[in-house]
Chain A
Amino acid sequence: KAGVTQTPRYLIKTRGQQVTLSCSPISGHRSVSWYQQTPGQGLQFLFEYFSETQRNKGNFPGRFSGRQFSNSRSEMNVSTLELGDSALYLCASSLGLAGAVEQFFGPGTRLTVL
């Protein structure tokens, strides 16, 4: 079974631009979560989608948004990029919402904002 895939793997943007990252979960997984990883702030939860509905949202500004499609694939969008948005963005998928369910992580998208 294929793992979680994220595209693109690397991205370079300039301040003020917007970016869209994509995540394809493991087949059959309906929950997708997004995390931002930076050296300074560590791993922080962005949002979670289940069956096309946003279930939870982390403490990020409105410039960060996401959505989930009927096939469970998810995208996150960051508008008006800032230098501080440079990070590794990780996507994770799981079968359901139970707290003990394992989340499977993708390789991440490395975003660099110049």
Chain B
Amino acid sequence: AQTVTQSQPEMSVQEAETVTLSCTYDTSESDYYLFWYKQPPSRQMILVIRQEAYKQQNATENRFSVNFQKAAKSFSLKISDSQLGDAAMYFCASNNAGNMLTFGGGTRLMVKP
């Protein structure tokens, strides 16, 4: 079984600043995938970034990047140059095969103008 833990229920960041959201996971699988999803107040969940566990290089998508520490089972999300539109719930998730995602409890990110 996989577990995903997000220890920060709420975070805030000043517009244009950088913020890091934490995530730890536990899995017995050797091959797995990690994701960060964003759920804005409109409720439509969208994928922010994904990481294949076999890849050592950290994934990057524009202002979003991850710090993947496989040995520590840590998968944090860094948002650079934060924008008001980044305000949302962020969920860390994992799966090993198929489409059965295991989600963390979420972090509510507030962006202050």
Q: Which of B71-99 contact A (CB under 8 A)?
A: 91, 95-99
Q: Is the CB of B96 within 8 A of A99?
A: yes
A42-B106, A43-B91, A102-B50 known; A97 vs B44 contact (CB < 8 Å) = no
Q: Is the CB of B33 within 8 A of A100?
A: yes
Q: Is the CB of B99 within 8 A of A31?
A: yes
Q: Is the CB of B45 within 8 A of A97?
A: no
Q: Chain B contact residues (Cβ within 8 angstroms of A): what range?
A: 20 to 34
Q: Is the CB of B50 within 8 A of A100?
A: yes
Residues in B whose Cβ lies below 8 Å from that of A56: 98-100
Q: Is the CB of B99 within 8 A of A103?
A: yes
Residues of A within 8 A of B (CB): 31, 33, 35, 42-45, 48, 55-56, 58, 88, 90, 92, 94, 97-108
Please list 18 pairs of residues, one from A and one from B, whose beta carbons are closer than 8 Å in the complex, sorted by A's number: A35-B101, A42-B103, A43-B101, A43-B103, A45-B100, A45-B101, A48-B100, A55-B98, A56-B98, A56-B100, A97-B97, A97-B98, A99-B97, A100-B52, A102-B47, A103-B47, A103-B99, A104-B47
Q: Is the CB of A105 within 8 A of B33?
A: no
Interface of A, secondary structure class, is: strand
A88-B43, A90-B45 known; A99 vs B91 contact (CB < 8 Å) = no
Interface presence of B32 (CB below 8 A): yes
- CA A100 – CA B32 in complex, angstroms? 8
Q: Is the CB of A33 within 8 A of B43?
A: no
